[in-house]
């Protein structure tokens, strides 16, 4: 990873908790952490398990489908690489962990709690990213 300020607005911050996630996006894989002791999944990434306190974990690729748990529509400020307005959804993935992701490219009127969605890998300002699309 390189300094985010040299890579544009959408560049991820680099640190040892998040780097695996962004490397996964480069390979079009959506990775979360799985505790090596108790198998708890977690997202956002963190150094330790909230359930058992273990610092050992391994990356787990998600299948990429889930259900909208909640959402908002982003209107302002304008964000490079995003149309406005665009939905942002908190999605319960089929594996049980929740991820927040953009749903740009989807009409906000077509987003609904409980609706099935699938991950789509995109590039924003040449940075690997993901968004959710309705199934
Ligand atoms: Zn654990």
Domain regions of the chain by residue span:
4-134
Burial of 96 (0-12, 13-18, 19+ CB in 10 A): exposed
Region of 81 on the Ramachandran plot (φ > 0 left; ψ -120 to 50 alpha; else beta)? left
Rounded (5°) CA angle 76-43-9 = 35
Is the model more confident about 52 or about 125?
52
Q: Mean of the pLDDT values across residues 89-118?
A: 97
Residue where the block lists tokens 């787990």: 60
Ligand 1 centroid to Cα of residue 11, in Å, is: 30
Position 11 scores a pLDDT of 65
The residues pairing with 124 across neighbouring beta strands, listed in sequence order, are 127
Ligand 1 centroid to Cα of residue 34, in Å, is: 8
CB atoms within 10 A of CB 111: 20
Ligand 1 centroid to Cα of residue 32, in Å, is: 13
CB atoms within 10 A of CB 117: 24
Q: Label residue 82 by pLDDT band (50, 70, 90).
A: confident
Contact at 8 Å (CB) between 113 and 69? Answer: yes
Q: pTM, whole model, 2 decimals?
A: 0.89
The CATH architecture assigned to 4-134 reads: Beta Barrel (2.40)
Q: Where are the alpha helices (DSSP H) in the chain?
A: 19-26
Ligand 1 centroid to Cα of residue 55, in Å, is: 8
């Amino acid at each position: 990873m390189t300094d985010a300020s040299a890579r544009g607005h959408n560049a991820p911050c680099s640190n040892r908790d998040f780097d695996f996630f962004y490397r996964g996006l480069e390979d079009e894989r959506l990775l979360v952490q799985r505790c090596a002791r108790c198998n708890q999944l977690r997202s956002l990434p963190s150094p330790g398990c909230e359930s058992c306190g273990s610092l050992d974990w391994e990356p787990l690729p998600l299948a990429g489908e889930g259900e909208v748990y909640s959402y908002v529509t982003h209107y302002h400020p304008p964000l490079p690489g995003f149309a406005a307005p665009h939905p942002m959804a908190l999605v319960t993935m089929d594996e049980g962990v929740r991820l927040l992701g953009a749903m740009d490219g989807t009409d906000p009127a077509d987003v609904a709690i409980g609706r099935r969605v699938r991950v789509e890998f995109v590039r924003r300002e040449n940075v690997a990213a993901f968004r959710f699309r309705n199934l």
